[in-house]
Amino acid sequence: MTDELRYEKEGALATLTLNRPDRLNAITGPMLAALSDALVDADADPAVRVVIVTGAGKGFCSGLDLKEAAAGQGIGGGVGGAIGRFDLRNAPPTVLHNVDKPTICALNGAAAGYGMDLALGCDIRIAADTAKLAPAFARRGVLPESGGTWLLPRLVGWAKAAEIAFTGRTLLAEECLSLGLVNRVVPADLLAKEVRALAEEIAANAPLAVQATKRMMRMGLDETFEANVHHVFLQLLPLFRSKDFQEGVAAFVERRAPKFEGR
């Protein structure tokens, strides 16, 4: 672990906080390794039902630390060595994509480059009114290397994705909302409260059902309709035998709130 990432659990919620506020949470190697490890741990922890990803201070993540790169240090500083050691299987974008627990990005400030890809990789994005997305890859001589080329066209369509990626123009919170890049925009001082309320609403549902739903939605991105329906049915059979299904039915009949255990 590293001080550059905070991992906190409270009830059914796990919060991962990028923690380099003095550098607007610019990424480092240790931060990426810790982020992957924390996502894996949260996904395997039966007590965790929702994962929140956010940044410390005024920014979410400013992407690659360009000052370090320019000085020949950090990620991008030694190009040949960095590429040689980069493990795509365990990189945060791949790990985040394969996590079954619902993920919410609390977009507390600017998300540039890698930070934008990280935000887009979460299932849901709640943005502060001061937040913005900066797809500045082409302006820095690189491309969206952390999932952006796959995620962006699926979120906004090819034409809009092309415009966003090719121009590298910064998108303010309200424009992100109009494009469908964030679910909602809230006052900055209410962001934590709004995100927690949504996370708790999700966490109150049957966790096995929520995770199976996410898994089938993810698989459906690359499947035919017929294949996905078949896989959904196979996921449904064990859910029918779960205690949570019995509790859900009983709660409905008894007109009370269900108490799911994830079993």
Which two three-digit tokens encode residue 105?
């990005």
The pLDDT of residue 136 is 86
Which residues, including other chains, have CB under 8 Å from residue 33's CB and lie 6 or more apart?
2
Does the pLDDT at position 210 exceed 60?
yes
Does the pLDDT at position 169 exceed 70?
yes
The pLDDT of residue 75 is 57
Which residues, including other chains, have CB under 8 Å from residue 178's CB and lie 6 or more apart?
none
Does the pLDDT at position 43 exceed 50?
yes
Residue the block writes with tokens 């494009």 = 179
Does the pLDDT at position 2 exceed 80?
yes
pTM above 0.85, yes or no: yes
Sorting pLDDT into bands at 50, 70 and 90, what band is 82?
very low
Give residue 204's Cα distance to chain centre: 20
Does the pLDDT at position 70 exceed 60?
no
Which two three-digit tokens encode residue 8?
């906190």
Q: What is the mean pLDDT of residues 15-40?
A: 95
Specify the domain boundaries for CATH 3.90.226.10 within the chain.
5-203
Which residues, including other chains, have CB under 8 Å from residue 257's CB and lie 6 or more apart?
204, 251
Q: Which of 13-27, 46-60, 74-88 has the lowest mean pLDDT?
A: 74-88
The pLDDT of residue 140 is 81
Specify the fold of 207-254.
Lyase 2-enoyl-coa Hydratase; Chain  A, domain 2 (1.10.12)
- Number of DSSP helices (H) and strands (E) in the chain, helices first: 13, 9
Specify the domain boundaries for CATH 1.10.12 within the chain.
207-254
One CATH from 3.30.70.600, 3.40.50.300, 3.30.930.10, 3.90.226.10 for 5-203: 3.90.226.10
> Do the beta carbons of residue 206 and residue 240 sit within 8 Å?
no
Each residue's pLDDT tens digit, 172-209 = 999 999 999 999 999 999 999 999 999 999 999 999 99
Buried-state track 113-134, b at ≥16 Cβ within 10 A, e below 16: bbbbbbbbbbbbbbbbebbbbb
Mean pLDDT taken over the chain: 91
Smallest CA-to-CA distance from 155 within 179, 119, 131 is with: 179
The pLDDT of residue 66 is 60
> Do the beta carbons of residue 126 and residue 184 sit within 8 Å?
yes
> Do the beta carbons of residue 184 and residue 177 sit within 8 Å?
yes
Strands (E) across the chain are located at 5-10, 13-18, 50-55, 103-107, 110-112, 124-128, 132-134, 171-172, 184-186
Helix (H, G, I), strand (E, B) or coil at 126: strand
